[in-house]
Chain A
Amino acid sequence: MRELMGIINLEHERDVLSELTYYRCGAAVPFAGRYRLIDFVMSNMMHAGIEDIALFVRRKYRSLMDHLGEGRPWDMHRKRGGLFILPPDWNDEADVSAGELRHIYNNLDFFERGSAKHIVHSGSQHISTVDFNEVYEYHLEQGADVTLVYTKVTAPREEHRSCVRLDVDEDGMVKDIHYDHKHDAVYMEMFVMEKARFLEMADHCIAHGGSHFFRDAIMRNRHKLNIAGYEYLGYHAVINSLESYYRTSMNLLNPKTYNSLFRKQAVHTKIKYEVPAKYLNSADVSNALVANGCQIDGEVKNSILFRGVQVKRGASIHNSIIMQKCVIGENVRLENVILDKDVMISRDHKLQGDFRKPFVIAKDISI
């Protein structure tokens, strides 16, 4: 008997990471040397014992499907339940549903077949180590219709501007939902509620032309619903722009931040069989994250190297993010740069961006 089933809803996530989302949706963007953004919510659901996950995808999901497969790295390759990647279904002429409500309407089988009585809903843009079991227990204690997960952001940045804010009273109940960025309780696009209630509200929402469950079913009815707010206290980041991606990545080079994200519980990802990173005689690596398969014979400072990157002798990489299988030639100079997968920078070239606006090269480009 499973308590929880998961919904990972990518329907409303915009492709806002410039070159990094030319060919893939945001959830499939590489992050932290080894991961994709989707790995964090997948791992959080796995650790909560969730074994049924519906993933609502919208566009450019080939890369995401390749990464997730049947969900084996998260123990989601099940005989009963497991991971379901659900693209849009455009076949029903009579279907009046829209947006994510269309996903729900077209996949009622998923909800009906699962034995769980409660759902956990999440997006992929909020990076955290939230414990969904704890949220669920809190939800039951509060006796709420829906429990929203939030965290307090006392020093907001540009990426928090578009986040929904909550007014939470001393009893932990949500009194208002809005976009007033003077309030510090940032909604993390995660909620828990009873499945039957969820489907009932979805049905009502469709009948009234809604396209966004949170906005049209919860936010608009916030004064009629009993809404609890669960305060999350661990590591948190929002990635909804190129600048937030770059800054969040660079922040992982702080050991305290790195440990708060990776040492609390394992983050699972697609398995790749690579040799350990090899540091050659002229390697000069300082304040860096380095994945397996790298071969380094140059200078790497304040940077993140993904799997299989080659850094040739005399190269210098500062404040940069170098994705899978890039080749950095001899004497290349890179600063404040993001290179997507399989980029080749031949010898003696120099590329420089600004620390607020990194210079991005799309995948497979050779310079």
Chain B
Amino acid sequence: MKKKDVVAMLLAGGQGKRLKGLTKTLAKPAVYFGGTYRIIDFPLSNCSHSGIDTVGVLTQYEPLVLHSYIGVGSDWDMDRLNGGVFVLPPHEREDGTTWYRGTADAIYRNLKFIDQYDPEHVLILSGDHIYKMDYDRMLTYHKEKDADCTISVIEVSLDEAKRFGMVNTDENCRIFEFEEKPAHPKSTTASMGVYLFRWKLLRSYLLRNAEHPDTSHDFGKDILPSMLADGKTLYAYPFEGYWKDVGTIESLWEANMDLLCEQPKLDLNDPLWRIYTRNPNQPAEYISPTGVVRNSMINEGCTVCGEVEHSVLFYGVEVGEGSVITDSVIMPKVRIGSHVRIHRAIITEDMIIQDHAVIGPPPEDPSRIVLASGQDEDVLKLLQSSSSSHNNQG
């Protein structure tokens, strides 16, 4: 194998418990976003544009969709003679353990994968975030600082700081302290979960950590604090731009809505930084004479005969005549009948919404985001009752 300067390891194994409903049968990085993407498209496309051509994708929870989605990585220019994208599920080891025990353990169990490329640096990425970043600039910064580890950071509000791993730095951006989800944050500098390590150093810490069963085998809780305590040079790399941790139904909905203003902070239409994705192969969308579309994103293959306002429609969605959809995210191949009302909702893939159905937040909680999923019994009951109540009237 040819030596690589950088190998990226993409942690795509989490379920994302707060996205329950969307991730019951789907790993979180495989969740749909932005009318045409999946969350994992963002780190993979960032690697592609940054000149990183060797990526290990660590899967664990419900990996089948991710495996078939990524394939040989040709959509991200990763189908390489030397390098490429490799999906790395957990496997049984001598000691009988199977599942990855934590983020650091996932990397530890794939030492052989990384060692074969003998990289100078290893970039650890999360598959859970939506952002565009040139990792090559971070690498340049990392080398300039002669850092053992560089962590990408972003400024967040004081409110948000309580749910992130916070980083405290001196005036040179050198890190002197970590605070994991602090109740009283000392700063507003949050870790983005993007770490760039010297591989030889990281390797030694992983080997040592593996010998301690009483730890979490986690970068944020174990590896990074250990490095700091040992006096290693850790630097923060300031990132400015759109970055979203879509950890909840509300934040996923919010991130989709962020795209609908005229000049969104996340510019997906930059020809120099395309977000690559698997092509669903659909014809141009059709807006019928009875269709009305405003302040929305509509993907190819959709047929719109009703009204769509301030919403995101993924590919292959059908909207019947007389239906009204507002402030909603409609995932691929949903079929919406006629005279349906959908408000502040996320409708999951392949759902069929019967004529005259009403989906939206309850009157007592009008700002709630409703998730309509095929596995959600309450929604099915709601749909049936809406249909039957109309039948009674008619």
Q: A255-B303, A275-B268 are in contact. Are A267 and B297 (CB under 8 A)?
A: no
Residues in B with CB closer than 8 Å to A279 are: 293-298, 308
Nearest CB of chain B from residue A282's CB, rounded to whole Å = 8
Identify which of A35, A289, A292 contacts B286 (C-beta below 8 A): A289
What total of chain A residues lie within 8 Å of the partner, measured CB to CB?
39
- Please tell me if the beta carbons of A277 and B298 are within 8 angstroms of each other in the complex: yes
- Please tell me if the beta carbons of A278 and B283 are within 8 angstroms of each other in the complex: no
Q: A273-B275, A275-B268, A276-B35 are in contact. Are A34 and B287 (CB under 8 A)?
A: no
Query: Does A304 sit at the interface, judged by CB under 8 A?
Result: yes
Chain B residue nearest to A279 (CB atoms) is B293
Query: Does A251 sit at the interface, judged by CB under 8 A?
Result: no
Residues in A with CB closer than 8 Å to B36 are: 275-276, 292
Residues in B with CB closer than 8 Å to A266 are: 281
Chain B residue nearest to A281 (CB atoms) is B295
Residues in A with CB closer than 8 Å to B275 are: 273
Residues in B with CB closer than 8 Å to A32 are: 283-284
Q: A275-B36, A275-B269 are in contact. Are A258 and B286 (CB under 8 A)?
A: yes
A267 to B314, CA, bound (A): 19
- Please tell me if the beta carbons of A288 and B287 are within 8 angstroms of each other in the complex: yes
Nearest CB of chain A from residue B252's CB, rounded to whole Å = 17
- Please tell me if the beta carbons of A273 and B285 are within 8 angstroms of each other in the complex: no
Query: Does B244 sit at the interface, judged by CB under 8 A?
Result: no
- Please tell me if the beta carbons of A273 and B274 are within 8 angstroms of each other in the complex: yes
List CB contacts (< 8 Å) of B291-338 with chain A: 291-300, 303, 308, 312-314
Q: A283-B293, A286-B291 are in contact. Are A277 and B285 (CB under 8 A)?
A: yes
Chain A residue nearest to B300 (CB atoms) is A292
- Please tell me if the beta carbons of B288 and A287 are within 8 angstroms of each other in the complex: yes
- Please tell me if the beta carbons of B276 and A258 are within 8 angstroms of each other in the complex: no
Query: Does A290 sit at the interface, judged by CB under 8 A?
Result: yes
Residues in B with CB closer than 8 Å to A295 are: 269
Residues in B with CB closer than 8 Å to A33 are: 283-284
Chain B residue nearest to A302 (CB atoms) is B289
A34 to B279, CA, bound (A): 13
- Residues 33-50 of chain B: 1 if any A CB is under 8 Å from the residue's CB, otherwise 0? 011100000000000000
Query: Does B95 sit at the interface, judged by CB under 8 A?
Result: no
List CB contacts (< 8 Å) of A254-289 with chain B: 255, 258, 261-262, 266-269, 271, 273-281, 283, 285-289
- Residues 14-42 of chain B: 1 if any A CB is under 8 Å from the residue's CB, otherwise 0? 00000000000000000000111000000
- Please tell me if the beta carbons of B283 and A277 are within 8 angstroms of each other in the complex: no
Residues in B with CB closer than 8 Å to A291 are: 284-285, 300
Nearest CB of chain B from residue A90's CB, rounded to whole Å = 36
A123 to B274, CA, bound (A): 35
Q: A279-B296, A280-B295 are in contact. Are A290 and B35 (CB under 8 A)?
A: no
Nearest CB of chain A from residue B297's CB, rounded to whole Å = 4
Query: Does A293 sit at the interface, judged by CB under 8 A?
Result: yes
A128 to B27, CA, bound (A): 40
Q: A34-B300, A279-B293 are in contact. Are A273 and B287 (CB under 8 A)?
A: no
Q: A268-B281, A285-B291 are in contact. Are A275 and B286 (CB under 8 A)?
A: no
Residues in A with CB closer than 8 Å to B291 are: 285-286
Query: Does B262 sit at the interface, judged by CB under 8 A?
Result: yes
Residues in B with CB closer than 8 Å to A288 are: 286-287
Nearest CB of chain B from residue A22's CB, rounded to whole Å = 24
- Please tell me if the beta carbons of A285 and B293 are within 8 angstroms of each other in the complex: yes
A261 to B284, CA, bound (A): 12
Chain B: interface size category = 35 or more
Query: Does B277 sit at the interface, judged by CB under 8 A?
Result: yes
A290 to B279, CA, bound (A): 17
A278 to B260, CA, bound (A): 8
Residues in A with CB closer than 8 Å to B296 are: 278-279
- Please tell me if the beta carbons of B287 and A287 are within 8 angstroms of each other in the complex: yes
Q: A34-B283, A255-B288, A276-B36 are in contact. Are A290 and B298 (CB under 8 A)?
A: yes
A253 to B287, CA, bound (A): 9
- Please tell me if the beta carbons of A276 and B283 are within 8 angstroms of each other in the complex: no
A295 to B267, CA, bound (A): 13
Chain A residue nearest to B315 (CB atoms) is A276
Residues in A with CB closer than 8 Å to B287 are: 285-290
- Please tell me if the beta carbons of B294 and A281 are within 8 angstroms of each other in the complex: yes
- Please tell me if the beta carbons of B298 and A273 are within 8 angstroms of each other in the complex: no
Nearest CB of chain A from residue B305's CB, rounded to whole Å = 8
Chain A residue nearest to B304 (CB atoms) is A285
- Please tell me if the beta carbons of B286 and A278 are within 8 angstroms of each other in the complex: no
Residues in B with CB closer than 8 Å to A304 are: 284
Nearest CB of chain A from residue B309's CB, rounded to whole Å = 9
Residues in B with CB closer than 8 Å to A271 are: 75, 279
Nearest CB of chain B from residue A34's CB, rounded to whole Å = 5
- Please tell me if the beta carbons of B281 and A276 are within 8 angstroms of each other in the complex: no
Chain A residue nearest to B45 (CB atoms) is A273
Nearest CB of chain B from residue A70's CB, rounded to whole Å = 12
Nearest CB of chain B from residue A100's CB, rounded to whole Å = 31
- Please tell me if the beta carbons of B300 and A273 are within 8 angstroms of each other in the complex: no
List CB contacts (< 8 Å) of A38-93 with chain B: 72-73
Identify which of A273, A287, A290 contacts B284 (C-beta below 8 A): A290
Residues in A with CB closer than 8 Å to B297 are: 275-279
Chain A residue nearest to B293 (CB atoms) is A279
Nearest CB of chain A from residue B299's CB, rounded to whole Å = 4
A306 to B300, CA, bound (A): 11
- Please tell me if the beta carbons of B286 and A276 are within 8 angstroms of each other in the complex: no
List CB contacts (< 8 Å) of B345-373 with chain A: none
- Please tell me if the beta carbons of A287 and B285 are within 8 angstroms of each other in the complex: no
Residues in A with CB closer than 8 Å to B294 are: 279-281, 283
- Residues 106-123 of chain A: 1 if any B CB is under 8 Å from the residue's CB, otherwise 0? 000000000000000000
Of A276, A277, A278, A295, most B-chain CB atoms within 10 Å: A276
A283 to B36, CA, bound (A): 21
A281 to B295, CA, bound (A): 5
A-B contact sample (12 more), CB < 8 A, given A32-B283, A278-B260: A255-B288, A269-B281, A275-B34, A276-B300, A278-B296, A279-B308, A283-B294, A285-B292, A286-B287, A289-B283, A289-B286, A291-B285
26 contacts between A and B (CB under 8 A): A32-B283, A34-B283, A72-B74, A255-B288, A255-B303, A258-B286, A266-B281, A267-B283, A269-B281, A274-B269, A275-B269, A276-B299, A276-B314, A278-B260, A280-B262, A280-B294, A281-B294, A281-B295, A283-B293, A283-B295, A285-B287, A290-B287, A290-B298, A291-B285, A292-B299, A304-B284
